[in-house]
Amino acid sequence: MAADEDTPEAVFNLYQKQVQMGTQVDLSKITPDNPRLKLFDNLQADAAKYAHFRQAQKEKELIEVRTDLDKQKIEKKYKNYRQVEEQTIFAHSAAAERWMGFEENADIYPNLEYRTAGDSDVRAEHAKLDGIILPMNDPFWSGHTPPLGWGCRCELVQTDDPVNKDQEKYKGFEDTTAPKGFDFNPGVEQKLFSDSAGYYTSFSKSKADEIATTAQGFYYDFTKQYGASQVGKIFGKVKVTKAGIKQAIEQPHRDYTLKNMLLENLKGLIKGKTFKPVPGKEGFQYAPFNLNGKNSYVVVQEKAGKLEFTTISDTLNF
C-alpha cells in the first residue's frame, strides 16, 4: 500500500493480513469441517466492516473542517492510527484462535489464568488481575478477554490449577473496566471489536446500516478472487478450468464467502473422493462434504471422457 493511501480497500488489505497471521489459517490446507475456517471468515468480514466505518468517520471529520491544513491533520491522524489498529486486529485474531483451542481442551484444562507482560508498562488495572484464575465459562471473560485496550499485551493461559478468585488480592476484580471496543470476547463473538467501538457509535442507525451493507458487499466481492491459482491443476482425475472456477464463484450458496474460500483448497475437496451421479443431470457427478454443519457438494462434469471441476453447491439442483 502506498504511504499516502488510506482508502477502505487499502486499509482492509492491511487488516486482513493481520487476521491471517493472528489465526494462522492457511486456506490452501484448511478443510471445510475445521471450525477455524468460519472463524477466519467472520473476522475478515469484521475487518471489512471496521475499515468502512473508519473511512466514514474520517470523511465525517473532513467535512466538519474548512482549511486544507486541518484536512491534512485529519489525514495524518488516521494514517498514524493504522499501526496500532493493525496490532490490535492481530491481537484479537490471535485471541480468538486461542479461545478455539481453549474450547477444544476444556475437559483437560477447564480454567483460564490472566497474565500480564510483568513489566512497568502494564496498566495498573491490568496488574491487579495478574495471576487470577477463573473457570473458562466464567461470565467475567465475556467482557474481559485480553487485549483490554490499545497496546495491551496481556493474555489468557489455559490451566488445570484451581480457581483463586477468593484471594484477598483479587477482591473486586469484577469491577475492572474494559475500554469501549474491547469489552467483549473475540473468540466467542468471532469479531475484532465490540459494538461499542468508537467508529460504530457516532452514526444514526440508518447510516450505520448503510455503511454495514456497503462493507458486506465489499467483502463478498473480495472473496471472488479465490480459486484463480487453481486453474489448470489436476487433482486425481479432475481438472480445474477457468470456466469451472467462474461458475463456482457465481454459484449461490447459503455460506457464499465460505464456499469461495474453499476454492483455494480444491485438492482437499476432490482428491481421493468418491463421486456419484447427480440425479437427473447426465454427465454430472458429486461428492458431499460438511460445511458449517450442513451438506454441500463439489460437482464435476464428464467431458470427452475426462472430468472437470464444475462448482461447489449447497444443493444438487444447481
pLDDT tens-digit profile of 281-316?
A: 999 999 999 999 999 999 999 998 999 999 999 999
Task: Please give the pLDDT value at position 1.
Answer: 43
The C-alpha cell 495471576 sits at 131
Contact 295, 314 (CB under 8 A): yes
CB atoms within 10 A of CB 48: 25
Contact 276, 287 (CB under 8 A): yes
pLDDT in tens, 190-216: 999 999 999 999 999 999 999 999 999
**What does pLDDT average to over the chain?**
96
CATH fold of 226-313 reads YaeB-like fold (3.30.2310)
Cα–Cα dist 180/184, whole Å: 9
Task: With a cut of 50, list the residues of the chain below it in pLDDT.
Answer: 1-3
Task: Please give the pLDDT value at position 2.
Answer: 47
Cα separation values, 64 from 56, 58, 70, 80, 92, Å: 13, 10, 10, 20, 32
Whether the full predicted model's pTM is greater than 0.85, yes or no, is yes
The values of phi and psi at residue 158, to 5°, are: -75, 140
Task: Please give the pLDDT value at position 4.
Answer: 53
Q: In the structure grid, which three cell numbers stand for residue 128, read together? A: 491487579
Domain boundaries, the chain: 8-220, 226-313
Q: In the structure grid, which three cell numbers stand for residue 199, read together? A: 467508529
The C-alpha cell 484451581 sits at 162
Task: Please give the pLDDT value at position 5.
Answer: 80
The C-alpha cell 463456482 sits at 248
- Identify the three-state secondary structure at position 283: coil
Q: In the structure grid, which three cell numbers stand for residue 119, read together? A: 513489566
Cα separation values, 186 from 40, 132, 194, Å: 12, 20, 8
